Structure 1
Amino acid sequence: MRQTRTASPKSPSGVISQIAKIRERINQLIVQELREHEIEGIVTSHGDIFYALFRHEELTMQETADLIGKDKSTVTALVDKLMKAGFIEKRQDETDRRVSFIRLTEAGERLRPDFHEISITLLARIYAGFTEQEKETLISLLTRIQKNIS
């Protein structure tokens, strides 16, 4: 039987595997937290849209796509699901029917404290044992990686 060789997590080539594992585990933790907060109808990919709308009262679909770094068709699919769940409402621009605006409904707005608490819990786990300098270095390095592959 042939043994598959994988890069050591400490080797430079192991970075992709480590990032993928971290992303997968964070998604699992978010799902767990959503369940514990009894929040239904939301998946981890909806989080960016909520956070964008927590910071901005109303956004166009294009502004949302730009803010969260996803293409407009992906945002449309995510928003449609959130509309069906009653968390977001959409309206068309009165002067340009091609432009749609989204905003949180009351049900969506009520999730703000839960999302804040989930973020605090998640960040506490992520940064456990890190110094402030290590946190800054980590963000700087991850930002450089993102820019390198953009």
Structure 2
Amino acid sequence: MVPSTAAPGDRAVLAGEAVRRILHVAAALRHHQDEAIAALGLTPAAGRALHELDPDHPLPARDLAEQLGCDRSNVTGLADKLEQAGLVERRTDPTDRRQKTLVVTARGRQVRDRLRQVMSDSRLLDGLSAAELATLHELVWKVSDGGCPEACGEI
């Protein structure tokens, strides 16, 4: 363990160092995820879009855009890529024939299952004991509960 450069009791310095380390860990996790997503033949954005889709509940593109926190025009391009890869199909919504929904295909389900594994990759935590992992889990949960959107609990 690398000691803090802060004097004992210097809360602001300790908090700043902790935030920088959290950002470093987040960047490392994102890097590993992006590499694994690319190995599946997807861009990180397309992979995250597929990850957000529920195979059992077709979703309009506008709803996916809301879940991803992006503009609907961006989702159109992502849906095009996923459809070209055979991972989703656009189908007419049976309850509103003016609207198209995104339906995950059988191949899309397989790739999505792999994506779920990628998004849960914990190799950076391999060096922690069970007790350390439990403590980390508790602290991250405590911190993320303070202002994190509800969707954070689903990641």
Aligned length: 134
- The C-alpha deviation readout for 1:55-82, integer Å capped at 9, x for no partner, is 6431111222233333322222222221
Describe the SS at the equivalent of 1:90.
strand
Write the distance in 1 (CA, Å) between the matches of 2:116 and 2:127.
18
Relative to the length of structure 2, the TM-score reads 0.64
Selected match of 2:36 from 21, 33, 38: 33
Write the distance in 2 (CA, Å) between the matches of 1:13 and 1:31.
27
1:80 match:
80
Write the distance in 2 (CA, Å) between the matches of 1:75 and 1:145.
26
Is the 2:125–2:133 Cα contact (8 Å) retained in structure 1?
Answer: no
Paired amino acid for 1:51: H
1:135 match:
137
Write the distance in 1 (CA, Å) between the matches of 2:80 and 2:51.
17
Q: Give the root-mean-square deviation of aligned CA atoms.
A: 3.1
Relative to the length of structure 1, the TM-score reads 0.65
Describe the SS at the equivalent of 1:89.
strand
- The C-alpha deviation readout for 1:22-73, integer Å capped at 9, x for no partner, is 34322321233346xx521x12222332222246431111222233333322
Counterparts in 2 of 1:128 and 1:96: CA distance versus 1, 3 Å? farther
Q: Provide structure 1 residue ranges, at least 5 long, that are not aligned to the other structure.
A: 1-7
Write the distance in 2 (CA, Å) between the matches of 1:13 and 1:127.
25
Is the 1:87–1:106 Cα contact (8 Å) retained in structure 2?
Answer: yes
Counterparts in 2 of 1:140 and 1:48: CA distance versus 1, 3 Å? farther
Counterparts in 2 of 1:81 and 1:33: CA distance versus 1, 3 Å? same
Counterparts in 2 of 1:72 and 1:20: CA distance versus 1, 3 Å? farther
Deviates more, 1:16-25 or 1:83-92: 16-25
Paired amino acid for 1:123: S
1:57 match:
57
Counterparts in 2 of 1:103 and 1:48: CA distance versus 1, 3 Å? same
1:4 match:
none
